[in-house]
Amino acid sequence: MKMNNEKSAAEKISAYIDDALKADEVSALLETNDSNGMFSVATRYHIVGDAIRGELSDSTMVDVSAQVHQALLQESFDAPDSVKSTIKSSEGDRFGFFAWLESFARPLTGMAVAVSVAAMVVTVVQLESPENNSQQLASSPENLQVPTLIVKKQSVDNLLNKQQRLTEFDDYLTEHAEFAAQDTLQGRIPYVRSVSYEVK
Amino acid sequence: MGGERSIDQALVERVQQGDKKAFDLLVLKYQLRVSKLVARFLRNPSDVPDVVQDTFIKAYRALPNFRGDSAFYTWIYRIAINTAKNHLVSMGRKSPAHSIDIQDAEDYGASDWLKEYASPEREALAGEIQENINQAVSHLPADLREAIMLREMEGLSYEDIAIAMDCPIGTVRSRIFRAREAIDEKLEPLLDEYSHNVGDT
């Protein structure tokens, strides 16, 4: 006579190979310690089925479960990212006030950083652009000036010096762009350097 | 048996979380079907266990990429076919140019394959196993025999068998198990002999 535990596991295996095992019974089956016994019972039940159908063959006798089990003992499993995040979140569950605080703090921090960057960009662009910038753009493309972002301590003197240097650099670029072919991006817009790559 | 996919998916998710025993259950459930499928491709039956083993090991390694868009068996079927084809190529043989449908592979007469390639000793043992199981089935109580025949011969679900036999599903489950257990008592010593002989050959 089989022990009750063995019998119970065999009964679950019988239901499992018929897809009739309930979801909550899967855990109980997984807790069975006797893997080898489980493998051989399942194989024999498959053989019974094939024999009743008159389909018994050598392939019915193939039982690689023990070999696969042994081979996989050496394997490390790289869980997918989705599962890792699930595991991580379930491991690091926080409750109560801290969880509530964290749920608000994260988006607020991100938003604060974004607002700071945007404010800084607007301020610097306004400082760098001369009042008549739009008029210059419209009147002469040779005097075209690109609004430039410079993030450092600003002073009136520095700004004036920088403005002058940029104007000189613009002139230099415009004058030395005559060798660039006009049908290329560089010829049309001498300030731009484009980088591209091909995907094979 | 609508729970097949959900139980398989639950097992897959457990494997993805590092539970190797859950993969054992998937191997137990599908190794016979995969063996028959692989045997359809290979000309040498002694290669089948190696290819089946490779199939499951490859499946395990690829499981992090399995998202459950298809059924687990459909997914492992493709791995099995590719592993069998690669095996044929590595053995210097041409793989079948046509694709094989899952159902065609499962309906393939395994007994024909056995007749063509089995040794006389193996064939005799398989015949003996078949005869003993037939006898064990004929000696089963009527309710157990009816339940196991409806399941194995007709492929009915437990729900359908319960309706046919006018009894609860739990009773069907118990009857099928008791039938298998009774047949298994005759089968186990024969299989020991069979595996011993196969080991000798």
Of B25, B64, B184, the CB nearest to A29: B25
CA distance A156 to chain B (A): 59
Q: Is B191 close to A26, i.e. CB distance below 8 A?
A: no
Residue A54 Rama label (left phi>0; alpha psi -120 to 50; beta)? left
| A and B: number of Cβ contacts within 8 A | 199
Look at residue B92 in the predicted model and tell me its pLDDT.
77
Look at residue B61 in the predicted model and tell me its pLDDT.
92
**Whose CA is closest to A8, among A43, A32, A40?**
A32
**B61 contact A CB<8A:** yes
Of B29, B61, B177, the CB nearest to A14: B177
Give the chain B residue whose CA is nearest to the CA of A80: B64
More confident residue, B156 or A157: B156
Q: What is the DSSP letter of B154?
A: T
DSSP, residue by residue, A67-124 = HHHHHHHT------HHHHHHHHHHHT---HHHHHHHHHHHHHHHHHHHHHHHHHHHHH
What pLDDT, in 10s, does the model give residues A66-118? 888 888 877 766 655 555 554 444 444 434 444 444 555 566 666 777 777 77
Residue position matching structure tokens 């459909």: B74
What pLDDT, in 10s, does the model give residues A15-62? 999 989 888 888 888 887 677 778 888 889 998 998 999 888 766 667
**Entry pTM:** 0.60
**Cβ atoms of A57 and B110 closer than 8 Å:** yes
Of A23, A55, A59, the CB nearest to B7: A23
